[in-house]
Amino acid sequence: MTGAVYVNGAWHDRATASISVYDHGLLYGDGVFEGLRAYDGRIFRLARHVERLYDSAKSINLAIPHTQEEFAALMVEAVGRSGLRDAYLRPVVTRGVGDLGLDSRKCPTATVIIIVDTIAVWSADRYEQGLDVVTAATPVPHREALSPRVKSLNYLAHVMAKLEGSLAGADEVLMLDPAGYVAEGSGQNLFVVRGGRLRTPPVWAGILQGVTRDAVIELAREAGFPAEESPLNRHDVYTADEAFLTGTASELAPIRRYDGRLIGAGRAGPITRDLHARFHALVRAE
Ligand code: PMP
């Protein structure tokens, strides 16, 4: 059996790993998480993901009982134990075990979990043909209510949005922010291309600052495609030459159709393909 699960200092497999039903991660969604990928045994942008995990924890005033270096080393060990060379990692840190009230002071010790497994968000043909995407009715939470910059265990808005997409027969959704700008996918950031220039929503507006997004901005600029962060309307997506989603689990996925409108030629466009190839080279090279 491949895969590995770390829970509070002990190693398990998928069948034996468990946590308490009094854990506030379960009772209240009180915790944070990350998603990383290992390519050929090496974790892509490990330090950046660990930094974002600790920023998320800081934002909710949660103390992680390891240094960032220790946490990174645990993830490297987890990949080694999993027997997987290409893997998906899911570290989760919760407030820990408390009572049935929501007072976090009654949770003395954080619960630390690292899961190593594999993941496939869509079938392989979607990366060629492109995704059918619709606007979700559920917006991302207001940035001062539950900051989308915190990768917290409160993912219900994103789960609902994804469900709305599935019920509509779509592959994925775009969620708007409370002001009506296009924010992000259920677990991806958005890019549009028009006239050879890339645009993606700014982080301050209330989206997760994707590690893949940042890598794609770097790759685009290296390749000579201007890339700017600016608020986007649905109109900007409808009228784009190309549009694509980025995420650790999703990697780079072209959008074929958005709210019924064909995007560009209705398949992965040349800049999307170019950046996809550059991204694949980067994750194996870094
Ligand atoms: N937005 C949301 C809501 C996400 O859950 C994710 C996945 N972590 C992303 C964007 C993409 O971020 P990354 O590229 O770091 O995986």
Conformation bin of residue 224: beta by default, left when phi > 0, alpha when psi is -120 to 50: left
d(CA 75, CA 36) in angstroms, rounded, equals 10
205 pLDDT above the threshold of 90 = no
Q: Any bridge partners for residue 27, and if so which?
A: none
Domain finish residue from 117, 136, 156: 117
Position 183 scores a pLDDT of 98
CA 188 to ligand 1 center in whole angstroms: 5
Whether 181 and 230 map to the same domain: the answer is: yes
| Ligand 1: lining residues by beta carbon, under 6 Å | 35, 158, 184, 187-189, 208, 210-213, 246-248
**How confident is the model over 80-107, as a mean pLDDT?**
97
Number of domains in the chain: 2
Q: Is 209 helix (H, G, I), strand (E, B) or coil?
A: coil
CA 101 to ligand 1 center in whole angstroms: 31
Nearest atom of ligand 1 to the alpha carbon of 249: 16
CA 17 to ligand 1 center in whole angstroms: 25
Whether 107 and 168 map to the same domain: the answer is: no
1 pLDDT above the threshold of 90 = no
At 234, list the tokens.
């649905």
Position 286 scores a pLDDT of 87
188 pLDDT above the threshold of 90 = yes
Range of the domain at 104: 4-117
Whether 27 and 166 map to the same domain: the answer is: no
Residue 160 pLDDT level (bands cut at 50, 70, 90): very high
Q: Is 285 helix (H, G, I), strand (E, B) or coil?
A: helix
At 282, list the tokens.
């980067």
3 to 14, 91, 211, 222: CA distances (angstroms): 7, 13, 23, 36
Mean pLDDT of all residues belonging to the chain: 97
Q: Tell me, what CATH number does 246's domain have?
A: 3.20.10.10
Domain finish residue from 99, 117, 135: 117
Domain finish residue from 117, 146, 171: 117
Nearest atom of ligand 1 to the alpha carbon of 34: 8
Q: Classify residue 199 as exposed, middle or buried by CB count within 10 Å of its CB (0-12, 13-18, 19+).
A: buried
Nearest atom of ligand 1 to the alpha carbon of 35: 8
147 to 5, 53, 152, 204, 207: CA distances (angstroms): 28, 14, 9, 10, 8
Whether 167 and 57 map to the same domain: the answer is: no
Whether 91 and 130 map to the same domain: the answer is: no
Q: Which amino acid is at 273?
A: R
d(CA 34, CA 185) in angstroms, rounded, equals 16
Whether 216 and 137 map to the same domain: the answer is: yes
Whether 269 and 149 map to the same domain: the answer is: yes
**How confident is the model over 43-67, as a mean pLDDT?**
98
User: Which of 270, 167, 275 minimizes the C-alpha distance to 221?
Assistant: 275
Whether 107 and 144 map to the same domain: the answer is: no
54 pLDDT above the threshold of 80 = yes
pLDDT digits (tens, 9 = 90+) for 142-156: 999 999 999 999 999
Position 284 scores a pLDDT of 94
CA 185 to ligand 1 center in whole angstroms: 8
